[in-house]
A and B are shown apart, each in its own frame.
Chain A
Amino acid sequence: MAEMAIFYDSSKCTACKGCQVACKQWNQLPSPLTADKFEYTKSYQSPLETNPDTWVIMTFDEVDQDIGVEWNFMRRACFHCTDAACLQACPVGAISKRDNGAVVIDSEKCIGCQYCTNACPFDIPKWKEADNKTRKCWLCQDRLANGRQPACVTTCPTGALTFGERTEMVATAKTALDEAKAKGFNDAEVYGVDELDGMHVLFLAHRGLEAHGLIRDPKVPDMIELWQLLKPLGGAAFAAVIGGLGISYLTGIGYKREETDESEEVQK
C-alpha cells in the first residue's frame, strides 16, 4: 500500500473543532460525564492538551494585536513520524509502523510502562490509568482499511484537512505554500515533509512554524538514541564476559593449588 498522509492548511482552518469532535465520536472516546470534571481553560483551546480520550485538539495561539486578539490555529495530534521515537522506546513491540505510514499502538500488547510518552519529542501519547494503556491517534486504520478517510478529514467543513497518497499531499502542501506567499503570508512554511525522515501529517503554517507552535527541526531525543544503543552494547558486553570467563575456566582445567608456580616473588 502506498504511504498516505493528512495535510492540514492553517490558512483555511477556522478552528471549528469539528475534527476534534469527529475523532472522539468515531473512536468512541468519552468526555467527562460530570460537569465539574470539565477544566476551565480560559481559552477556546479545550482541553489544553491531548489526553487518552482526546487524540486531536485544535490549539489557539492567542496574540494581542492593535485590532484585537489574533489567533494562530494548529492541529495537535500524532505526526506519524517515519523516525518515531515512541516506537524505538517501546520495550514490548506494542508500537508498529504500518505500510501506509501510520504509527499505531496495539492496546492488546501495551503494558502501560509510559516509555513512549516520555520518548515522543512532541509529548503526544498519553497514558490512561483506568486500563493502564497508552493511547493516541491511529490514523483511523479501520476506516482506511475500508477505503474511507480519517474521521477528522471527512468532517472538516473548510477543506483545511485533506487526505491522500503522501506524494500527492507533499505536492498539495507546496502549492498551498506558494498560494499563501502570494497572499502576503511571507513567513509561511511547510512542515512534515522532511522532519523525522518524513511525517504522515503535513502542515502549512501560514504565519511560520513558531507562530503556530510547531517545533523546528525535531529530532529523536539524544538520550533515547543512546539508551537504545545500550541494547546491542549490553548484549556484546554479556557475551564478552561469558566468553572470557569460559576461556578462563578452560585454562584452569586440571588446576591443583600445590602445583601453582611459586617462583614469581612479590616485587616490593
Chain B
Amino acid sequence: MQYIQRHGKHARTVHWFHTISCISLFITGLFLYVPAFAGALSVDTLQVGRLVHRIAAAIFIGIPLIGILVKPSATAHKLKEYVTPWTSEDKEFMKKFLKYMFSPKTTHMPKQGRVKSGQKLADGAIIIFSILIAISGAFMWINVSPALDVDFSQGLMRSMYFLHDGSMIVLGVLLIAHIFLGGGIFQPYRGSWRLMFGNGKVSVADAKYHWGFWADEEIKSGKNVTEE
C-alpha cells in the first residue's frame, strides 16, 4: 500500500506540545470559569490549577515563538498556504460543508489543496484568537505578579478578563470541532488521528479523498511517497 508523508517529526512534536498545553489550559481554566467547579474544589487545588495554567500558557505561547525564531522562513511558507486565492473548489467546499457534516453519505466534496478551505478559516480564527487569549492572559498574569509590581488600570483589566474568556469560548468551540474531525470521530475522517499522533503518513486513497490536488502533486513528485 502506498503512503504519503504528510506531517514530519517537527510538526508532530509541536502538535503534541500544543495538545497537552491546550487541554491543560482548558481544564484548569474551567476551574475558574464554571462556578460549580470553583465551589467544589479546595483553595489548594485551585492554586495548583492556577500554577499549571501558567506553566501550560508558557508552553502554549513559547512553542510557536521558538518555531518562528528558529525557522522563520518555514513559518512564512506555512502561513502562505493560508493566503492563497479562493478557487471554485474552495467555494464549493464551503457551500457543501454543513450538508457534508450532517449527511456525509450523500455528499461528495470537491477536491482540495494541502489545506482545505474550511481549515483555512478555522486555523485563521485559531491564530487570531490564540494571539488575543495570549495577550490578555499575559496582562492578567503580569497584573497579579508582585515581582513585576505593575499596576494596570481597572478599565484595562476588565477588558482583558472579557477578551480572555471570549477568546476561550471561540477556541473551545473550534477545539471540540477539531477533535471531532481531526481525531477521526466523524466517520469520513476515520483514522486521521494518525497524521499527528502516529507516524504522520496518510494512505494515497485517503490523501486523494481529502486533499486531491495535494495528493496529485505528491504522487507526481514521488518525493514523500513510500510503499509499505
Contact = CB atoms under 8 A, between A and B. Distances in A.
A108 B43 CA distance: 8
A267 B92 contact: yes
Interface string A134-177: 00000000000000000000000000000000000000000000
B173 A241 contact: yes
Interface in B145-195: 146, 154-155, 157-159, 161-162, 165-166, 168-169, 172-173, 176-177, 180, 185-188
A93 B38 contact: yes
B33 A260 contact: no
Contacts of A234: 33, 165, 168-169, 172
A232 to B, nearest CB: 11
Given A118-B157, A259-B105, A226 B143 contact: no
Contact of A129 (B32, B96, B146): B146
Interface in A216-268: 221, 223-224, 226-227, 230-231, 233-234, 237-238, 241-242, 244-245, 247-249, 251-255, 257, 259-264, 266-268
Contacts of A259: 105
B8 interface: no
B50 A111 contact: yes
A255 to B, nearest CB: 4
A92 B104 contact: no
A268 B108 contact: no
Contacts of B146: 129
A224 B158 contact: yes
A229 to B, nearest CB: 9
Chain B facing A: main interface SS: helix
Interface residues of B, number: 48
Contacts of B165: 227, 230-231, 234
A114 B161 CA distance: 11
B84 interface: no
Contacts of B222: none
Contacts of B176: 238, 241-242, 245
Most chain A CB atoms below 10 A, which of B158, B177, B186? B158
A17 B166 CA distance: 45
B43 A111 contact: yes
Contacts of B43: 92, 108-111
Contacts of A267: 88, 92
Contacts of B121: none
B162 A227 contact: yes
B33 A91 contact: yes
A251 B38 contact: no
A97 to B, nearest CB: 15
B46 interface: yes
B211 interface: no
A113 interface: yes
A255 B104 contact: yes
B101 interface: yes
B198 interface: no
B101 A226 contact: no
Given A91-B35, A251-B102, A260-B108, A245 B177 contact: yes
A198 interface: no
A52 interface: no
A234 B197 CA distance: 29
A251 B173 CA distance: 20
Contacts of B185: 245, 249
Interface in B18-51: 32-35, 38-39, 43, 46-47, 50
Contacts of B187: 249, 252-253, 255
Given A227-B158, A234-B165, A257-B188, A248 B101 contact: yes
Nearest to A120: B154
Nearest to B160: A118
B188 A111 contact: no
B26 to A, nearest CB: 11
Contacts of B105: 251-252, 254-255, 259-261
A255 B184 CA distance: 13
24 contacts: A92-B32, A92-B35, A111-B43, A111-B50, A113-B144, A118-B143, A118-B158, A123-B154, A227-B161, A230-B162, A231-B33, A234-B169, A237-B169, A237-B173, A242-B176, A247-B102, A248-B102, A251-B103, A251-B104, A252-B186, A255-B104, A257-B188, A257-B209, A259-B105
Given A91-B38, A111-B46, A118-B157, 6 more contacts: A227-B162, A237-B172, A241-B177, A253-B187, A255-B188, A266-B92
